[in-house]
Amino acid sequence: MNPAEILDRLSATLAARREADPSTSYVAKLFHKGQDAILKKVGEEAVETIMAAKDGDKTHLVYEVADLWFHSLVLLAHEGLSHEDVLNELARREGLSGIAEKAARNQD
């Protein structure tokens, strides 16, 4: 199974959920509630990811990172973006020193 295909299918599902009845889908309900609800979920999942990492349970950490990625994808979709935008940004940064990349951002 190609991981990029998983992201493509998930993006298609998220796009479909934007139009779905909020009573029929968790994601549709998040979209319906708006940005603040989505941001709250991303924050909650980030905290749970940190806690799982601190606990040292690698299986739980993977589970929580999956939740964080999922809710981050919901946020991107809500903002009219997708995983492809993030992958393009990562590709742009590839081979750059993190220090140099951050310094370039600070100049903008």
pLDDT means per 10 residues, the chain with 108 residues, are: 86 94 96 98 98 97 98 97 94 80 69
Predicted pLDDT at 108: 61
Predicted pLDDT at 70: 98
* pTM for the whole structure: 0.86
The domain limits of the chain are 3-107
DSSP for 62-96? HHHHHHHHHHHHHHHHHTT--HHHHHHHHHHHTTS
**In this structure, what token pair is assigned to residue 67?**
């939740």
Predicted pLDDT at 104: 73
Predicted pLDDT at 99: 74
**In this structure, what token pair is assigned to residue 84?**
């492809």
Which amino acid belongs to residue 75? L
Options 3.40.50.620, 3.40.50.12780, 3.30.457.10, 1.10.287.1080; CATH of 3-107 = 1.10.287.1080
The Cα–Cα gap between 44 and 48 comes to 6
